[in-house]
Every structure is written in structure tokens, then in C-alpha cells.
Amino acid sequence: MARRQDGAPGKEARHAAILQALNTDPTVRISALAARFGVSGETVRRDVEELSARGAVRRTYGGASVTHAGVQPDLLAREAMAGAERGRIGAAAAALVQPGAVLMVDAGSTTSRFARALAARGIGATVLTNSLPVVAAAGEAPGIRVLVAPGEFLAAERALYGAETDAFLRRFSADIAVIGASGLVAEGPTDAESRAAWVKRAMLERAPRRVLLLDSGKFGRGYLEHVADLSALTDLVTDAPPPPALAAALERAGVAVHVAEDV
């Protein structure tokens, strides 16, 4: 590894080492890399941002992960990423719900935080979901009725998928569909899991208001499957303003962008 005069590796060497580390571990932490390289955390953070801008890695809360189009960390791993940001997104999205609303809620780490925030509001609502964490969170609120979709259990996502899930969702109409996604590009949301994409589409088709919850680390990330066009959404709730090109695409598609405040 090429090193600077002070003994620390140069930028190109650090970039190569980060990519090599991701070959054996799907996620790396900035703090661990900084200690390994003998440089500041800010230096490694800039490295990760540069690699992310090139599409070589995916920036995560406190580190970086692989960007294979068909791979994402499982739900428990994602729960540990961007926790504060996802908490703010969930709370901001819950504030959009009117008492008595009927909601379809997708499986995912951010939608589970939405369910917790909705339960904390103490309003009456009906929630249809394929997500066991959403069931657990929303089901604790006495005013929320929860209907659980049937299907095949996928342990990595703690959710139910399949033809029975799709058929169940299409029996109902909702006021709001609340979904997450692995990434968001100008063409629309994308997902690494095809079974999840099918459920998201079914939910989007059953509600007039269609809300995507997405942390800003997923902007510009294209994964295996195109879920829907941007025009299929009515709202995006996120933790930071989208970059200019994506912001322009959202505006053209008529999607209202809600940036959750840091409180």
C-alpha cells in the first residue's frame, strides 16, 4: 500500500483498501477504517463520499456497503444504519396521517419506525401490512386495527411475500400506501428484492396517496428491480433535500418532498 511521508496510506491506496475490505465484508465502518489507516475519520468519510459519487460503494450511516444491484443487508443489519435519520422520517410520515385513515404499510426498517411513530400518536387507524415488525409496533396501540397479509415468511426481511400476499392486498382499498425502497433514481424507486417490489406495486395501486419513506443515503442508488415510475408516488419523506437532478425529476413528476427536521 503506497504511503505518504507521514506513513499513512495515500488516497488512492485508501480507496483500493476500502473496496478490498468490501469484498469480504458487505459493510465497513469509518471508525475502523480510520484506525486501520492511521488517518482521521473525516478523511475516511471524504474517501467514502468520493467512492459513493462514483457508484463504487453505497454510503451508509457511519460507513459504507457494497452496491451489488441484487444485494442489500438484511433487516436487522439495516436497523442499525442511519437510525436517527430513519426515526425522523418515520415521525414526519406519521404526522401526515389523519385520524381514521386506512393505510397499507410495506416491510422495511424505515416503515417499522413509521409504525412506531404512528402508534405513539395515539390516533385511530387501520393498518394492512405484510411486515411483522409493523404488526408488533402498530398492534400495541389500542386505537389501531391491524390486518396481516398471508404469504411465505422471509426471515431476512421478517415479512410475508408471495401470490397470497398480493391477492390479499388487492381485496382492499386504502387512503395511504406507505412504502420503502432500496434506492431512488430519476426513473423511480428501486429494490434489491423482487418479492418486495411486487408487494410495493400492489400497495401503490390501492391508495390515492402514495408515500415513499427513504433516507438520503439511498439517493441515486439503482438496485435490481424498478418498482414504479416517480409519477406513481405522491409524496417522498426523507431526511435531507435530494440532489439537484433528482429534485428536478421529483418536481416534474409532481411528487411533494417532505424533509424531516433534525430535532
pLDDT at 101: 98
Examine the domain organization and report whether 142 and 167 are in the same domain: yes
Query: Taking a C-beta distance cutoff of 8 angstroms, is the pair 32, 17 a contact?
Result: no
Q: State the DSSP code for 222.
A: -
Stated pTM of the model: 0.73
Examine the domain organization and report whether 121 and 171 are in the same domain: yes
As a whole number of angstroms, the distance between CA 190 and CA 232 comes to: 13
Examine the domain organization and report whether 57 and 104 are in the same domain: no
Low-confidence ranges of the chain (pLDDT < 70): 1-7, 23-26, 54-56, 66-83, 262-263
The answer as to whether 3 is a domain residue is: no
pLDDT at 93: 97
pLDDT at 239: 92
The answer as to whether 4 is a domain residue is: no
pLDDT at 28: 84
pLDDT at 263: 46
Examine the domain organization and report whether 15 and 47 are in the same domain: yes
